[in-house]
Amino acid sequence: MLSTIAAAALPILIAMLLLGGVAKLFMAGGDAEPGGLGRLGPAVLAPPRFRKAAMIGCALGELGLIGVLLLLPDHAVARWMPVAFFSVATYVLWDLRRRRPDVGCGCFGEVSAAPIGLRSIGRAAFLAGVAVVVAVESPGLAALSDWSWSTTAWLAGGLTLVLLLSTEIEESIARLRHRAPCEQRAIPAKRALSRLQSSTAWRSHAPTLMSDEPADTWRELCWRFFVFPAQDGADVVFAVYLSGRRPGVKWAIVNADGQPITPLRESMRVSA
Amino acid sequence: MTNRTVDRRRLLAAAVLGRDTEAPRLTADDGMTLDAVSGEILDVSPHLIIVEDDDGEERRMVIAPWATAWHGASLPPADLPVGARVVIRALRSGTVVDRIWANMTRMTGIILSISGKRDLTIELDCGPHRGRRSVVVPYRSSGRIRVRHPQLEAGYLFDAIGLMDAGTALAHIPATSQPPYRAKSVPPPPPAFRGVQSKISGAAAWGDFTEPGVTYPMLESADADCEDTGRSCAGLPYLAVGSMLFVRNVCDGRANALPIIGCGCIAGRFCDRCLECGTSPRGRLVELSATSYVELGGDLIKGCFNARVGLG
């Protein structure tokens, strides 16, 4: 019975350690100085110049524990290391909640910005319990060879409990649902220019343009404007919509005063 | 980038998107703007002040009986030194002086270093477009500054109002409560529900530049020629130099359409609130020139007013 539970517990531990370690490394490497204290977690207690090192150290420690779980299941001291890690994590979260109630747990980097609640602490305590089961039975890699339906049931139960205790799930769903609108997203000018150059509006005006490089370009809300000098002192202005797979491109030909010029073809009425 | 190109942008955008080329009209409901005169005092008496304004014109203005001046402290206008640079809030089409601020300067930036024991000398990074400047916090005002700037150390933001005295900037009063985070760790804006709001509320500050208009933090870095743009915790949309912004002083009920003239790279790092009338939402939206700020009814010795900003 206990060996079945331990066999189911091992993948849960490995998955949590892997996700946590990679997410922390990603966050520490992605930004020179992590913005916002919320997602730092316990690293916020370290002096500012050591915060990044603390996050990287914690991440490497978590990844190292995976190796311990898989490769050293029989080592007397090593197999209790995950238990020590999650017990200390539980205490640190409990203490952090008391000392810095504004800070998130930082367990999974950026998505763990919500202030520490009982759920985060409960998850760390649950994982400590799971680690005890694994340490007692020490299944190692061999557990994966004799897999059974009851192990799968235990795994599903454990995963459900972990998911219920994870506040990050709600945070991730909220992020997916409320993606920043295009007015607030930085979009490089080069991407807009390549979108323009693949449009039909560009192809119809390209022969009249004096240069392939825009004379002026600027961004306003969801539009990026490009001005190209054309023949006879006129300018062609393109406006590229920055959102969507096939963005709309508008254009106008203007004279030196900025007044639109109607092309001859459009100004003549077509007679029957 | 010449001024002509920037002015032309509005016309070109209007032509290509089929917008109205006219600047947005202000109605009486928007509140009338005040008159602001910026210049140098040529002569001053208890009832009359003669100023050479920034265009080089001499202006004679009557000083209202209730008018006060600020030059490090409140004082009667007649006590102002001749030759001082002043910003005047004027009434009656700019003929009657209501309030005078003399030799004002605004020191907004990231603290680079601090030296001195009694009088503190602070080296500030005022952003890629304004460079570095050195300001002095005299001992008599250091208590006032420190109480609003608890983290007076390198890497944190600094914002104070003071006087120019023989080329030295002396900090007198704090312009805001210092944000508790480091300048590089600006909190992200709140998630936007259903796109960007057409009008955004927050704080509007004034800056140390004379050209009428506003500086705005959300510019694309390629458009602003610097890497420090696009930071704001107010959920502002991206705009460009040359775009017209409709800025309303919520406290005073005055509004104006002002062009964006540059990058508010440092202003965007302030995620503070303005407490001028009620508590504004977080985030410094724009930085106005001293005259534009006074025209909208702002007081230069208060660092900000509660503002609502929209695309004009």
Taking the CA of residue A183 and the nearest CA in chain B, the distance in Å comes to: 5
Q: Alpha carbon of B276 to those of A154, A168, B85, B249, B279: distances in Å?
A: 60, 38, 26, 10, 7
Same domain, B62 and B79: yes
Among A77-86, A203-212, B23-32, name the one with the lowest average pLDDT. B23-32
Does position A32 have pLDDT exceeding 50, yes or no? no
Look at chain B and report how many structural domains it folds into.
3
Task: Tell me which of A120, A145, A179 is where a domain ends.
Answer: A179
For residue B223, give the nearest of A180, A218, A238 by CB distance: A218
Q: Which residue of B has its CA nearest to A189?
A: B222
Does position B148 have pLDDT exceeding 80, yes or no? yes
Tell me phi and psi for residue A159, to 5 degrees: -60, -40
| Domain that includes residue B260, residue range | 197-311
CB–CB contact B15 A216 (8 Å): no
What is the residue-averaged pLDDT of chain B? Answer: 85
Taking the CA of residue B199 and the nearest CA in chain A, the distance in Å comes to: 13
User: Residue B26: inside a domain, yes or no?
Assistant: no
Q: Quickly count: other Cβ atoms within 10 Å of residue A194's Cβ.
A: 11
| Domain that includes residue A98, residue range | 2-179
Does position A266 have pLDDT exceeding 70, yes or no? no
User: Residue A110: inside a domain, yes or no?
Assistant: yes
Q: Which residue of B has its CA nearest to A184?
A: B237
Half-sphere exposure of A223 (CA within 13 A, CB side): 18
Task: Check residue A34 and give its pLDDT.
Answer: 42
CB–CB contact A220 B238 (8 Å): yes
Of the pLDDT bands very low, low, confident and very high (cuts 50, 70, 90), residue A272 is very low
What is the mean predicted confidence (pLDDT) over B162-185?
87
Task: Check residue B110 and give its pLDDT.
Answer: 92
Same domain, A169 and A253: no
User: Residue B221: inside a domain, yes or no?
Assistant: yes
Does position B44 have pLDDT exceeding 60, yes or no? yes
User: Residue A169: inside a domain, yes or no?
Assistant: yes
Q: Is B140 on the interface with A (CB under 8 A)?
A: no
Q: CB neighbours of A86 closer than 8 A, spacing ≥ 6?
A: A124, A125, A127, A128, A130, A131
Q: Percentage of chain B surpassing pLDDT 70?
A: 92
Tell me which chain B residues have a C-beta less than 8 angstroms from the C-beta of A186: 220-221, 230, 238
Predicted confidence (pLDDT) per residue in A125-178, tens digit: 999 998 898 888 777 666 667 777 888 888 899 999 988 888 888 877 877 777
Of the pLDDT bands very low, low, confident and very high (cuts 50, 70, 90), residue B22 is low
Among B11-20, B102-111, B141-150, name the one with the lowest average pLDDT. B11-20
CA distance A206 to B242: 27
Predicted confidence (pLDDT) per residue in B202-252, tens digit: 899 998 888 888 999 888 887 777 777 878 888 888 888 888 888 888 888
User: Residue B219: inside a domain, yes or no?
Assistant: yes
Of all helices (H) and strands (E), which one includes residue A177?
A: helix A168-177
ipTM: 0.82
Predicted confidence (pLDDT) per residue in B267-296, tens digit: 888 888 888 888 888 888 899 999 999 988
Q: Is B154 on the interface with A (CB under 8 A)?
A: no
User: Residue A272: inside a domain, yes or no?
Assistant: no
Of the pLDDT bands very low, low, confident and very high (cuts 50, 70, 90), residue A33 is very low
Predicted confidence (pLDDT) per residue in A59-99, tens digit: 898 888 888 888 777 777 887 888 999 999 999 888 888 88
Opening angle at CA A166, ends A161 and A167, nearest 5: 145
Task: Tell me which of A145, A179, A213 is where a domain ends.
Answer: A179
Task: Tell me which of A179, A205, A227 is where a domain ends.
Answer: A179
CA distance B52 to B85: 9
CA distance A92 to A120: 11
What is the residue-averaged pLDDT of chain A? Answer: 80
User: Tell me, what CATH number does B238's domain have?
Assistant: 2.40.40.10
Burial (CB < 10 A; 0-12, 13-18, 19+), residue A272, is exposed
Q: Is A175 on the interface with B (CB under 8 A)?
A: yes
Task: Tell me which of B102, B127, B151 is where a domain ends.
Answer: B102
Interface test with B, best of A220, A241, A243 (most B CBs within 10 A): A220
